[in-house]
């Protein structure tokens, strides 16, 4: 018997070509896409505008399930961390665990006004930034397009919340899993699918030069964030090993091209590490690096990871750092910590073994 295909792996155009080969009507792909992504239906028999013969045929060809919920935790601040089991690429009998996060945003009168979904693209990470939990265990595997999309759809089903934004800032380096992530972003952007505009989807990269060149050429329907963390070559090389072969100057040239071609600012992510990259001279070097770039800067408080020797900068030092950047005319923001108590904050994904299963508490409602 033929092994069913994961339907989330395919863009609408790919489904259209497959359906054409199977002599299905051309409009069927649009119908199916709408049922899956707009109505969140996971059963072909419930797709009532499809002929029964077509429903039966597609049930033989495709499956929806590519992961199962392993655990869920809800933070005191309303952040939700999901742990999913996916099949291991190394064995037919084992599985890997990946994590994604649902983040409350945009408070109005102390009530949540919107949520952002943070998704993963790899089980583990090859980049192994020195301050990040995800790089501590072995790299396991790239996720398929279906496994990336599944995180978003399953979080929507579980929470009954339609996200206003998606950030690809979970486990892994998105551009190290280029094709699958690109496919997933096209599905997110499709007007017959989840229908998120490029300003509502953000890809975060550690600065891999060659994939970034492809990213610009292929016109990904997303915004771009770069994990910079220092504008000093020596410091950045010590924090991000791949920076040794992906230099700051070459990165700057690529970013300048991106902002010129896309007419969108790049976001620089900068984790403040006590006595490492948080001094006034570090802020001045960052300001100089950004001086002629269309950009904004997100300052991030370091979130503790057991066994790693880093500390977050003092609040006074964080404000001084921010003041230097503002004095240079740069748009700068301090990212609010979310999910710290459940190890769901920036840099903490991958600490799953320290987290027990949690009760299925209801999420705070959106107002």
pLDDT at 358 over 60: no
Contact assessment for residue 122 and residue 139, using Cβ atoms and an 8 Å cutoff: yes
Q: What domains sit in the chain, N to C, each tagged with a CATH number?
A: 5-63 (1.10.150.530), 68-354 (3.20.20.70)
How much of the chain, in percent, has pLDDT values that exceed 90? 84
Distance CA 181, CA 213 (A): 15
Average pLDDT, rounded, for the chain: 92
pLDDT at 349 over 80: yes
Residue 168, beta-bridge partner list: 203
pLDDT at 157 over 80: yes
User: What amino acid positions are annotated as catalytic residues?
Assistant: 99, 346
Q: What is the mean pLDDT of residues 221-236?
A: 98
pLDDT at 293 over 70: yes
List, for residues 40-91, the tens digit of each pLDDT value.
Answer: 999 999 999 999 999 999 999 999 988 899 999 999 999 999 999 998 876 6
How much of the chain, in percent, has pLDDT values that exceed 70? 93
Distance CA 29, CA 222 (A): 24
Distance CA 250, CA 144 (A): 30
pLDDT at 363 over 90: no
Q: How does residue 366 score in pLDDT terms, banded at 50, 70 and 90?
A: very low
Strands 165-168 and 141-142: unpaired
Residue 274 main-chain phi, psi, to 5 deg: -55, 125
List, for residues 295-343, the tens digit of each pLDDT value.
Answer: 999 999 999 999 899 999 999 999 999 999 999 999 999 999 999 999 9
**Residue tagged 């759809």 (tokens):** 153
What is residue 139's predicted lDDT score, i.e. its pLDDT?
Answer: 94
What is residue 94's predicted lDDT score, i.e. its pLDDT?
Answer: 76
Strands 80-87 and 266-272: unpaired
329: its two tokens: 């005319």
What pTM does this model have? 0.93
DSSP, res 155? H
Q: Which of 231, 271, 274 is nearest to 249 (CA)?
A: 231
pLDDT at 242 over 70: yes
18: its two tokens: 């497959």
Distance CA 203, CA 223 (A): 6
What is residue 67's predicted lDDT score, i.e. its pLDDT?
Answer: 87
What is residue 87's predicted lDDT score, i.e. its pLDDT?
Answer: 87
Distance CA 364, CA 112 (A): 7
Q: How does residue 92 score in pLDDT terms, banded at 50, 70 and 90?
A: low
Distance CA 119, CA 196 (A): 15
Q: Which of 217, 215, 187 is nearest to 203 (CA)?
A: 215
Distance CA 330, CA 220 (A): 26
Distance CA 322, CA 278 (A): 10
What is residue 88's predicted lDDT score, i.e. its pLDDT?
Answer: 84
Q: How does residue 178 score in pLDDT terms, banded at 50, 70 and 90?
A: very high
Query: Residues near 202 by Cβ (< 8 Å), separated by ≥ 6?
Result: 165, 166, 167, 168, 169, 222, 223, 224, 225, 267
Q: Which of 171, 113, 112, 116 is nearest to 147 (CA)?
A: 171
What is residue 1's predicted lDDT score, i.e. its pLDDT?
Answer: 57
Compute the CA torsion angle 307, 309, 315, 317 (nearest 10 deg): -170
**Host H or E run for residue 108:** strand 95-108
250: its two tokens: 């070459």
List, for residues 104-156, the tens digit of each pLDDT value.
Answer: 987 665 667 789 999 999 999 999 999 999 999 889 999 999 999 999 999 99
């Amino acid at each position: 018997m033929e092994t069913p295909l994961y339907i989330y792996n395919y863009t609408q155009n790919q489904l259209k070509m497959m359906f054409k080969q199977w002599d299905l009507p051309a409009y069927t792909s649009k119908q199916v896409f709408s049922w899956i992504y707009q109505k969140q239906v996971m059963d072909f028999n419930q797709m009532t505008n499809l002929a029964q013969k077509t429903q039966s045929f597609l049930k033989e060809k495709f499956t929806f399930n590519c992961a199962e919920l392993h655990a869920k935790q809800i933070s005191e601040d309303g952040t939700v961390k999901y742990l999913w089991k996916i099949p291991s690429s190394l064995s037919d009998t084992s599985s890997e665990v990946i994590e994604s996060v649902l983040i409350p945003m945009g408070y109005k009168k102390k009530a949540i006004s919107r949520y952002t979904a943070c998704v993963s693209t790899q089980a583990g990470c090859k980049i192994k930034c020195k301050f990040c939990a995800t790089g501590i265990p072995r790299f396991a595997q790239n996720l398929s397009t279906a496994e990336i999309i599944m995180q978003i759809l399953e979080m929507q089903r579980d929470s009954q919340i339609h996200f206003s934004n998606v950030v690809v800032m979970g486990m892994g380096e998105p551009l190290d899993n280029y094709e699958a992530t690109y496919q997933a972003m096209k599905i997110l952007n499709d007007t017959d699918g989840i229908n998120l505009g490029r300003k509502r989807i953000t890809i975060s990269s550690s600065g891999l030069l060659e994939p970034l060149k492809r990213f610009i050429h292929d016109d990904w329907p997303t915004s771009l964030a770069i994990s910079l963390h220092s504008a000093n070559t020596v410091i950045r090389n010590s924090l991000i090993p791949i920076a040794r072969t992906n230099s700051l100057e070459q990165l700057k040239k690529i970013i300048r091209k991106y902002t010129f071609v896309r007419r969108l600012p790049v976001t620089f992510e900068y984790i403040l590490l006590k006595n490492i990259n948080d001094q006034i001279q570090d802020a001045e070097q960052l300001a100089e690096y950004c001086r002629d770039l269309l950009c904004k800067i997100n300052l991030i408080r370091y979130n503790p990871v057991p066994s790693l020797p880093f500390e977050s900068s003092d609040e006074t030092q964080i404000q001084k750092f921010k003041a230097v950047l503002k004095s240079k005319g740069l748009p700068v923001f301090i990212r609010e910590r979310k999910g710290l108590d459940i190890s769901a904050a920036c840099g903490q994904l991958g600490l799953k073994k320290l987290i027990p299963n949690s009760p299925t508490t209801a999420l705070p409602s959106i107002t």
